[in-house]
Amino acid sequence: MSGPLEGIRVLDFTRYQQGPCATVLLADMGAEVIKVEPRVNGEWGRQTERDETGFSAYFETYNRGKKSITLDIRTPEGRGVVERLVPRVDALVENFRPGYMDKVGLGYEAVRPLNPRLVYASASAFGSRGPMARRPGYDHIAQAVSGLMVEQSGGPDFDPAPALPGAADEISAMLFAFGIVSALFARERTGEGQHVEASLFGSMLAFQGRQIARFFRTGTQTYARWRRNALYTHYRTADGWVAIAAQDAKRWPALCRTLGRPELTDDPRFAGPWDRHHNAAELRAALDEAFAARTTAEWLSLLIAEDVPCAPVNDYRAILPGEDLAEQAEANGYLTTVDHPNIGPLRSTGLPLHLSGTPPAPVGYAPELGRHTEEVLLELGFGWDEIEGLKAREVI
């Protein structure tokens, strides 16, 4: 086998990041993903972050391992091609604004009779119901409206601070892919497909579930801006930064020994977890002073010897070949090299999952626009004259 989803076919109408990220997860796990793109310039992601050679890290990352066909689904002939494809696929995935697929005659109720086992999956900005359902939205909008930017910054008294660009898209994509696979699993039990929905807004609320539960309980959304726990943060060293995660009470004595401050262990201000919480500012000041005395490498050596969770605060140079972090990532397949037919060897992230019984094939590369159109149409029974006619009428 070449992955746990081998034999699953996905008809992919997604664009931008939320949807393509979800379907690339399915492709990575062995599903055959047929990406349907506009006829001329393809999906919008092909133009995003494109360099002078035509390479787009954005498109390559979220569309590797897929097939590409071009099709104008707004035309009756284009819709006819989709209707012939639907009985041959297991899932149809789209992230248009709610109502668009109904408008072009390819909504869930329209295609369900063609394949009752079909898992029809829709992703949107705000969900398909409610007063905001038809509004457009993207990653930055979801981070803003869900409260994440305020939570990231430390509370309403600080300027909003967005997370990594694409954070909402990718979190939503993971939940969306989870929903699709769950529906496929349910289909094996019931024999019936269903409609799966996910949204950026809903995903970001779920992502912040703990913080939102606390807000409902306390009515406040305020924390220290970037040091929310003195023992679960990062400190400046003599030549950089080191991160620690010593919030577990059993780590406290070991941390004090490592810092050369054993007296802190029994200091009444810091003796127990609640004491350390209530006197966090004083504790941070003490740790600031201690960590500034040695280099990052020295601290890592000492902390690791005491089994205190720690790490350097790296930039991406740490995953370059020859670096320790690259060796760790390579050993687990988290980084890989893809043999790209147009640009040669391409360094890429690999799969962060291991399956002992059904290991996925190595990750692939993103397809050229429309590379598989003729292949898919021939499989559907179209003749070459029909294919040339579709080209002439600008359907493909």
Q: Specify the 3-state DSSP secondary structure of 245.
A: strand
| CA end-to-end span of the chain | 33
Choosing from 90, 169, 239, 267, the catalytic residue is 169
Tokens of 164: 């990594």
Contact indicator for 363, 338 with CB cutoff of 8 Å: yes
Q: Which of 175, 168, 176 is nearest to 142 (CA)?
A: 168
Q: Specify the 3-state DSSP secondary structure of 239.
A: coil
DSSP characters over 273-342: HHHHHHTHHHHHHHHHHHHTTS-HHHHHHHHHHTT--EEE---GGGGSTTSHHHHHHHHTTSEEEEEETT
How many CB atoms are closer than 10 A to CB 278? 13
Q: Is 169 a catalytic residue?
A: yes
Contact indicator for 364, 350 with CB cutoff of 8 Å: no
How many CB atoms are closer than 10 A to CB 299? 25
Q: Burial level of 339, CB count in 10 A (0-12/13-18/19+)?
A: exposed
d(CA 140, CA 161): 11
| 282-286-291-294 Cα dihedral, nearest 10 degrees | 160
Q: Which residues are catalytic?
A: 169
